[in-house]
Amino acid sequence: MKNEPLIKKTLRTLRRAVNQSGLDEKDAGSDPIALFEKWIVTAVEKEAFEPNAMVLATASPDGHPTARTVLLKDYGPDGFVFFTNYASRKGEQLTANPRAGLVFYWGILMRQVLIDGSITRTDRKTSEEYFHSRPRGSRLAALVSAQSRPVANRAELEQLLKDAEEKYKDSEVPCPEGWGGYVLNPTRIEFWQGRADRMHDRLCYTRVSDGNWKLERLAP
């Protein structure tokens, strides 16, 4: 492949030596939410960059998949919570097809967690509480941004922000009706631990009933 940019060869040959200890069934335990908690605590402790960033995959009703990064803001037995604009592209897809996948990747630990499940909206109180905990600038931006819609130019957006700053200079920025949280209620959670020579560990939990999970090891 003559004259190809060097980066192309680099992409084919890039390998990173992995020297992580493994994930076994005994340490993993029977509760994937507890294991997720251990892993995200470690990601924070090891200073993974944006440890709560996760790729959210959604699909249109006719099966066209899309993905983007969002931030995990809460988790528990009911699921994994993030906040967004309900009228955004992801919001429209989730209204029509309330299923989604999440991918966490913590490169520093060679760890990945994949979560699939069904989606519901958080209640309004939860959305409002979180909205009002955000910095004022983020609240104003959420208010003026019709997320995923075209804007004429940057100046138009900045003018909208200025107008909102003026309008709410002496009052609380209200949580927009079309803004709030989603909870992904998991049916499958897979933990992937990178190991040497691509002999990675993959432990997959599939929900059998509320609070009960079947655990299987998957080939890497």
- Work out how close the CB of 114 gets to ligand FMN at its nearest, in angstroms, rounded to a whole number: 18
Pick the closer one to ligand FMN by CB: 149 or 162.
149
Pick the closer one to ligand FMN by CB: 112 or 193.
112
CA 141 from chain centre, in angstroms, equals 20
CA pair distance 111, 206, nearest whole angstrom: 19
Strand partners for 103? 55, 114
- Work out how close the CB of 70 gets to ligand FMN at its nearest, in angstroms, rounded to a whole number: 4
Contact pattern from residue 128 through residue 157 relative to ligand FMN, giving x for each residue in contact according to CB under 6 A and a dash for the rest: -------------------xx---------
Instruction: Give, as ranges, the residues between 154 and 213 that touch ligand FMN (CB under 6 A).
Output: none
71 interacts with ligand FMN by CB under 6 A: yes
59 within 8 A of 66, measured Cβ to Cβ: yes
Total residues contacting ligand FMN by CB under 6 A comes to 15
Helix (H, G, I), strand (E, B) or coil at 135: coil
84 interacts with ligand FMN by CB under 6 A: yes
Alpha-carbon torsion (33, 34, 39, 42), positive or negative: positive
- The CB density around residue 203, as the number of other CB atoms within 10 Å, is 20
The secondary structure element, H or E, covering residue 128 is: helix 124-133
Q: At what angle do helices 136-144 and 154-167 cross, to 10 degrees?
A: 120
Name which position in 8, 46, 68, 214 contacts ligand FMN (CB under 6 A): 68
Name which position in 18, 20, 59, 89 contacts ligand FMN (CB under 6 A): 89
- Residues found near ligand FMN in the complex (CB under 6 A): 50, 53, 66, 68-71, 82-84, 88-90, 147-148
